[in-house]
Amino acid sequence: MIINGVHIDPTFAEAFPMKATRVIITAQNLKWAYHSANAFTGFATSVIACGCEAGIERELDPSETPDGRPGVSAMIFAMGGKGLAKQLETRAGQCVLTSPTSALFAGIEGGDRIALGKNLRYFGDGFQISKRIRGKRYWRVPVMDGEFLTEETTGMIPAVGGGNFLILAESQPQALAACEAAIEAMKKVPNVIMPFPGGVVRSGSKVGSKYKSLNASTNDAFCPTLKGQTKSELSPEIESVMEIVIDGLSDEDIKKSMRVGIQAACELGAANGIRRISAGNYGGKLGPFLFHLQDIMA
Amino acid sequence: MSALTFTLKIELKQRLDCSPLTPGALAGKGAAEIAGIELQCGNRKLRADAVFDISGSDSDAIVVSKASAKLDYIGKGMESGSITVEGDAGSYLGLLMKNGVIHVSGNVDAYAACEMKNGEICIEGNAGDYLGAALPGDKKGMQGGVVIVKGDAADRVGDHMRRGAILIEGNAGAYLGARMTAGTIAVMGSVGAFPGYAMKRGTLLLLKSPGQLPATFNDCGTHTLGFLPLLLKGFQGYPTRFGDLADQVKRVRRYAGDLSGLGKGEILVVA
């Protein structure tokens, strides 16, 4: 398949089951909501070493937030419920509780309930106040700027992590430009996050390593500088490969975001050095979800 | 199916215990069975059809028509459905209520919503003493649900209250929220003496300054509290004007007390 001169590989992205939750972070204004959410989702690019993957999903209008203030929704994914609960609590405590004017609410109503403010409330040292509003419990924790308002729990649901596609270009700036265009388009799709910095990862990995202590290592088949040294997947004109990784609440959400992302990259086309779209395919070692690029783009 | 309607047809000389007339208790009962229910009136029992004209069949939506202040225990322990009282109700309205909706177009007497667990009670008129309180000798008052009073409430509202919300659009009497353990009481009008007397936790939200507060409450200053819009927004959809205040009430003067006890309660006076 060729779109605007860009070859779409007959391959698939391979993804795995995860657990996910969404939170709503509000603040006095969007600037401070972003400060809090950026800290909350920081260092959460890959479960390989971060314990979770997290990202900002979208901005929220005051009419969409529980307390009527500007805010953002963020999602956090982990390999299991325990890991997710731990990461959520740590990040909420260090990054939202501490952030001026912030408040923290659940973004998912169904699923299993995990602690949001349930334990953070103890920061109030006995001065915390519980309020039950419309069947939901909230905590008012006295802090130096006023009160930190948080919901007791949020919902945890099954999700899909590791959806991906690779953009192969003639140069590094061209690969990055295509990725930026893809991310801009994908940000408009709900229920997904792209957890890497700016949504883009340059260090795509393969499963395993020659070093026993590592369970992932550089995807040498897609490293342009190794074309002559390894069994490369790259033709001579490819000088740069970048990957976009997607976590979503369902495989359908991931498919939708992959489609708009690949479409946006292809719009730049071969004229702008974009030559191929491929995907991280680990031969079934990574997970049960297979996203065939040609089916998605059909 | 029309509402199961009990129209009072006699002038009661004694108080009548209406506790058997709840949606749950009447579910599945035929007209003859309902007519034969015995209701305690003073020191004797009267058949329901001796007291009321009974019409309709939907036991999930009960109407008490031409009601009087001698009708006690309306909606006692009810778990579902609705009861509409056209007129006044007596004491113990919604006592131990677990769910459902009670609407009273007139006034109610003492001990309404006592030890209520959940549900919604709306009183268009005034409420007597001990609204949402604990029964004498008990330690747990209202434990959930929402009570709305469009008129005034008398003394000891929310005595020993533990959870839920009481919203009074008129005035409230003395000892508002006395001995409260938790929950929220909001008053649009004026309040009597000793609000929050011996309260442990919980919130009294007053739209008008109470004038003088007990000496055992300390001033914590004026603050913009983010939970207030959320709380008031939570009342939208209920038949009360408090829901309309969600965009207006944010800044309050906070008084902590009762410091002669646990002292973790608060009186918030809208600034």
pLDDT grade for B211, boundaries at 50, 70 and 90:
confident
pLDDT grade for B25, boundaries at 50, 70 and 90:
very high
User: Whose CA is closest to B180, among B263, B117, B268?
Assistant: B263
**B168 and B150 in contact (C-beta within 8 Å)?**
no
User: Whose CA is closest to A156, among A83, A263, A258?
Assistant: A83
**B89 and B108 in contact (C-beta within 8 Å)?**
yes
**For residue B47, what are the CA distances in angstroms to B3, B87, B125, B143, B222?**
20, 22, 29, 33, 58
Nearest-Å Rg of the Cα atoms of chain A is 21
Cα of B234 to nearest chain A Cα, Å: 6
**B168 and B153 in contact (C-beta within 8 Å)?**
yes
What's residue A281's pLDDT?
Answer: 80
Chain B residue with Cα closest to A134: B234
What's residue A84's pLDDT?
Answer: 97
What's residue A285's pLDDT?
Answer: 73
Chain B residue with Cα closest to A105: B230
In chain A the first and final C-alpha atoms are separated, in Å, by: 9
What's residue A64's pLDDT?
Answer: 95
| Chain A CB contacts of B255 below 8 Å | none
Q: Which amino acid belongs to residue B127?
A: A
| Region for residue B50 given its phi and psi (left: phi exceeds 0; alpha: psi -120 to 50; beta: otherwise) | alpha
**B118 and B138 in contact (C-beta within 8 Å)?**
no
Q: With a cut of 80, say whether residue A273 has pLDDT above it.
A: yes
Q: Report the C-alpha gap between A14 and A281 in whole angstroms.
A: 5
What's residue A280's pLDDT?
Answer: 87
Cα of B267 to nearest chain A Cα, Å: 13
Percentage of the residues of chain A whose pLDDT score is greater than 90:
93
Take residue B28 and report the two structure tokens written for it.
């599945």
| Chain B CB contacts of A133 below 8 Å | 230-231, 234
Q: With a cut of 90, say whether residue A282 has pLDDT above it.
A: no
| Chain A CB contacts of B229 below 8 Å | 67-68
pLDDT digits 0-9 by tens, A233-250: 999 999 999 999 999 999
- Exposed/middle/buried for residue B139 (C-beta within 10 Å: 0-12, 13-18, 19+): exposed
- Those residues whose C-beta lies under 8 Å from the C-beta of residue B45, and which sit 6 or more positions away, are B38, B39
Take residue B180 and report the two structure tokens written for it.
């409260």
Do residue B266 and residue A129 have CB atoms under 8 angstroms apart? yes
By Cβ distance, the residue of B144, B230, B266 closest to A67 is B230
By Cβ distance, the residue of B144, B225, B246 closest to A147 is B225
Do residue B226 and residue A130 have CB atoms under 8 angstroms apart? no
pLDDT grade for A284, boundaries at 50, 70 and 90:
confident
Do residue A132 and residue B230 have CB atoms under 8 angstroms apart? no
What's residue B1's pLDDT?
Answer: 79
Do the bridges between strand B38-41 and strand B251-257 make them parallel or antiparallel, or are there none, so unpaired? unpaired
- How many Cα atoms within 13 Å fall on the side-chain side of residue B115? 14
Q: With a cut of 90, say whether residue B60 has pLDDT above it.
A: yes
Percentage of the residues of chain B whose pLDDT score is greater than 90:
97
Take residue B58 and report the two structure tokens written for it.
């939907």
**A52 and A78 in contact (C-beta within 8 Å)?**
yes
The stretches of chain B forming alpha helices (DSSP H) are 23-26, 31-35, 48-51, 227-233
pLDDT digits 0-9 by tens, B109-150: 999 999 999 999 999 999 999 999 999 999 999 999 999 999
pLDDT digits 0-9 by tens, A33-67: 999 999 999 999 998 889 999 999 999 999 999 99
Q: With a cut of 80, say whether residue A103 has pLDDT above it.
A: yes
| Average pLDDT, rounded, for chain A | 96
Do residue A68 and residue B231 have CB atoms under 8 angstroms apart? no
By Cβ distance, the residue of B227, B229, B246 closest to A140 is B227
**B159 and B137 in contact (C-beta within 8 Å)?**
no
**A238 and A169 in contact (C-beta within 8 Å)?**
yes
Q: Report the C-alpha gap between A85 and A19 in whole angstroms.
A: 10
**For residue A254, what are the CA distances in angstroms to A54, A68, A80, A285?**
15, 30, 19, 20
- Those residues whose C-beta lies under 8 Å from the C-beta of residue B33, and which sit 6 or more positions away, are none
Mean pLDDT, residues B13-33: 95
Residue carrying the six token digits 């959320």: B230
Question: In terms of C-beta distances under 8 Å and separation of at least 24 residues, what long-range contacts does B227-233 make, across chains too?
Answer: B227/A67, B227/A131, B227/A138, B227/A140, B227/A147, B227/A149, B228/B252, B228/B268, B229/A67, B229/A68, B230/A66, B230/A67, B230/A68, B230/A133, B230/A138, B230/A149, B231/A131, B231/A133, B231/B184, B233/A66, B233/A68
Mean pLDDT, residues B169-187: 97
By Cβ distance, the residue of B144, B224, B227 closest to A131 is B227
**B72 and B52 in contact (C-beta within 8 Å)?**
no
| Chain B CB contacts of A149 below 8 Å | 226-227, 230
What's residue A101's pLDDT?
Answer: 97
ipTM for the predicted complex: 0.91
Q: Report the C-alpha gap between B223 and A176 in whole angstroms.
A: 48
Mean pLDDT, residues A203-207: 90
Q: Is B250 on the interface with A (CB under 8 A)?
A: no
| Chain B CB contacts of A131 below 8 Å | 184, 203, 227, 231
User: Whose CA is closest to B176, among B150, B202, B137?
Assistant: B202
Q: With a cut of 90, say whether residue A130 has pLDDT above it.
A: yes
Q: With a cut of 80, say whether residue B86 has pLDDT above it.
A: yes
What's residue B254's pLDDT?
Answer: 97
Take residue B107 and report the two structure tokens written for it.
């006034």
Strand partners, B82: B61, B101
What's residue A181's pLDDT?
Answer: 98
Q: Report the C-alpha gap between B121 and B146 in whole angstroms.
A: 6
Lowest mean pLDDT among B1-5, B78-82, B193-197, B200-204: B1-5
In chain B the first and final C-alpha atoms are separated, in Å, by: 50
Q: Is B170 on the interface with A (CB under 8 A)?
A: no
What's residue B271's pLDDT?
Answer: 85
Q: What is the DSSP string of B31-80?
A: HHHHHT-EEEETTEEEEHHHHEEEE--EEEEEEEEEE-TTEESTTTT--S
Output the 3-class SS for chain A: CEECCEEECCCEEEEEEEEEEEEEEECCCHHHHHHHHHHHCCCCCCCCCCCCEEEEEEEECHHHCCCCCCEEEEEEEECCHHHHHHHHHHHHHHHHCCCCCCEEEECCCCCEEEECCCCHHHHHCCCCEEEEECCEEEEEEEECCEEEEEECEEEEEEEEEEEEEEEEECCHHHHHHHHHHHHHHHCCCCCEECCCHHHCECCCEEECCCCCCCCEEECHHHCHHHCCCCCCCCCCCCCEEEEEEEEECCHHHHHHHHHHHHHHHHHHCHHHCEEEEECCCCCCCCCCEEEEHHHHHC
Q: Is B228 on the interface with A (CB under 8 A)?
A: no
Q: Report the C-alpha gap between B220 and A72 in whole angstroms.
A: 32
Mean pLDDT, residues A189-195: 97
Altogether, the residues listed in chain B come to a count of 271
Do residue B224 and residue A146 have CB atoms under 8 angstroms apart? yes
**A186 and A246 in contact (C-beta within 8 Å)?**
yes
Q: With a cut of 80, say whether residue A255 has pLDDT above it.
A: yes
**B121 and B142 in contact (C-beta within 8 Å)?**
no
Q: Is B262 on the interface with A (CB under 8 A)?
A: no
Mean pLDDT, residues A269-290: 89
